[in-house]
A and B are shown apart, each in its own frame.
Chain A
Amino acid sequence: MTIRNKYAFAGVGLTRLGKVPEMTPDELATQAICLALEDAGLKKDEVDGYFYQPGIGGGLSDTMPLQMAGIQAPLVWQAPSLGSYALVMVAQAIGAMEAGLCRTCVLVHAASAASRRPVMSGPPGSGNTPGAYGWYGPGATAACMARRYQHLYGLTREQLGSVALTLREYSNRRPEAIMYEKKLTMDDYLNARMVIEPLCLYDFCLVNDGAAALVLTTAERTRAGRKRPVYVMGYGVDHSLREMGGAPEAIHHFDGFVTARAGEQAFRMAGVSLEDIDVAELYDAFTIFLLSQLESYGICKKGEAGDFVAAGNLRRDGRFPSNTSGTGLSWGYLMGFTQLTEGIRQMRGEGGDCQVEGAEVCLVTGLGGTVENGSAATCCILGK
């Protein structure tokens, strides 16, 4: 009994990305849900599972988008807002469907970070141990990773910049991307203001509003839908907790153990290997995350990811086409929904000017965590 190819994505719904102050997060989510069902060719009364993730900025109020869309799903499940969780939601939804709790799930993420910019302002004297030292936001984790990587393997600003530029080139060709037609040069990158050294503005993902909804159902049901199904071939999850005591280097995937284990699980379930991957959508809240994952998934050897990206290998004509919409750094940041959305589109052949010709297997990843809780890595392999 295998899960491989038993479930598939049937629909994708995406709102406008960027600054959308005229819509509440609930309205963005509602619109994404309706678009996803239309795309799938499924009716509202077929949806019986709802999995949602409030994004940066918050404001998503539980079942309100369901009510506004007129959907009466009995199963409602909220996921934490971490970068690893979109793919955990896939595992949760498939688990619920395997258990017979539901048959057609809608997975939703709504961000309102541009219109409801999150302010980190714990009141004076309130308890927050990292905050007591001025450690705020995941950018510090990424900056500490980059500094450590630089120390271990050498890392130039041009190499990090090549990640930002590669992704920007993709987004320049995608009309829905926030950075559509907005060029970025290496000079722009090198002269950008530092946010948390050694990372500058362009090492950080975008801050935007927007929502995405994905319809995940049984492979059988997708065959009656409007679009070609995109199968879930395998997935894997792991957490760095076991390293936090013994090998602290692994906290925040400094050495990538976590990512490697999530990948092993996913590839085993999918019955494919790295050589079978035609296109990848790697989690990119920060430029350094991409380098880290290229190495921990075994795409590059340790210390070689900077050169690998600078040589153009992530481009559409490169050895490992990746992040083909421009993803979190240049398309729009909807946590892991950014990568899943583009992965599904690539498998459908809907990548527009960024479509990887003949792509049949896609690697999608997630990465998240907090200082206190360690890091989590997730991996999913999609097939057409």
Chain B
Amino acid sequence: MAEYQKQLPAVTASNRPFWEAARRHELVVYRCAGCGACNTTGAGCTCDGPESAWVEARGRGQVFTFCVYRQAFHPAWQGDIPYNVAYVKLDEGPLLITNIVGCGNEDIYISMPVEVVFEDISGQISLPKFRPVKVIDG
């Protein structure tokens, strides 16, 4: 198998639980026990509340905004043109940079309901991506 030419997530001490969960095909968010605000980077909360903790996320959200690359800015993405990059707003609140899969670029729209899927790109890393959902339960 050819070497993976693209870049990988920058895994650090703070966000390692996020990427370890992704490897298990689980989506987690770092939730503040004080105000309930969530992020996916492991950053501290601004509310001075008690400790935050990683908790499982619902894996659902909506497309907040997106764009479609018609020109590659990095050589490893040349073969993917045209490809989309989106901000998905998770039900828990945070925005995630991701790709929308499972539909054409022309079918993506803002507020489109999406759910997480995981793309295994190496033995260690799986990327959370999002695909359209037809029906939202709950």
A contacts, CB < 8 Å to B = 120-137, 139-140, 143-145, 147-148, 151, 193-199, 242, 244-246, 248, 251, 254, 371
Q: Which residues of A contact B68 (CB under 8 A)?
A: 143, 194, 196-197
Question: Can you list, as one digit per residue, whether each of B61-80 has a CB less than 8 Å from chain A (1) or not (0)?
Answer: 00011111111011111001
B70 touches A132 (CB 8 A): no
B8 touches A196 (CB 8 A): no
Number of residue pairs A-B, CB distance < 8 angstroms: 119
Cα distance A124–B8 when bound, in Å? 8
B7 touches A196 (CB 8 A): no
Partner of A196, one of B11, B65, B67: B67
Is B89 part of the binding interface, using a Cβ–Cβ cutoff of 8 Å? Answer: yes
Given A148-B110, A246-B46, 11 other A-B residues pairs in contact with their CB atoms under 8 A: A125-B8, A126-B7, A127-B10, A132-B127, A134-B74, A134-B80, A140-B69, A194-B68, A196-B67, A197-B69, A248-B93
Is B83 part of the binding interface, using a Cβ–Cβ cutoff of 8 Å? Answer: yes
Cα distance A25–B76 when bound, in Å? 29
Q: Which residues of B contact A246 (CB under 8 A)?
A: 37, 46
Q: How far is the CB of A258 from chain B (nearest CB, A)?
A: 16
B67 touches A143 (CB 8 A): yes
Bin chain B's interface residue count.
35 or more
Partner of B67, one of A126, A132, A197: A197
B10 touches A129 (CB 8 A): yes
Q: How far is the CB of A252 from chain B (nearest CB, A)?
A: 9
User: 10 A-B pairs, CB-CB below 8 angstroms?
Assistant: A120-B74, A124-B5, A124-B76, A130-B85, A131-B6, A134-B77, A140-B85, A144-B85, A145-B65, A193-B70
Q: Which residues of A contact B77 (CB under 8 A)?
A: 134, 136
Partner of A124, one of B7, B11, B45, B83: B7
Cα distance A135–B127 when bound, in Å? 14
B110 touches A147 (CB 8 A): yes
Which residues from 1 to 38 on chain B have a C-beta closer than 8 Å to any C-beta of chain A?
A: 3-11, 37
B contacts, CB < 8 Å to A = 3-11, 37, 39, 43, 45-46, 64-71, 73-77, 80, 82-83, 85, 87, 89, 93-95, 97-99, 105, 110-111, 122, 127
B8 touches A127 (CB 8 A): yes
Q: Which residues of A contact B93 (CB under 8 A)?
A: 248
Cα distance A157–B70 when bound, in Å? 17
Assuming A143-B67, A248-B94, A371-B97, is B89 touching A124 (CB within 8 A)? no
B67 touches A198 (CB 8 A): yes
Q: Which residues of A contact B75 (CB under 8 A)?
A: 121
Assuming A125-B4, A196-B71, is B85 touching A133 (CB within 8 A)? yes
Partner of B10, one of A128, A135, A139, A244: A128
Q: Which residues of A contact B67 (CB under 8 A)?
A: 140, 143-144, 147, 196-199
Q: Which residues of A contact B105 (CB under 8 A)?
A: 197
A137 touches B9 (CB 8 A): no
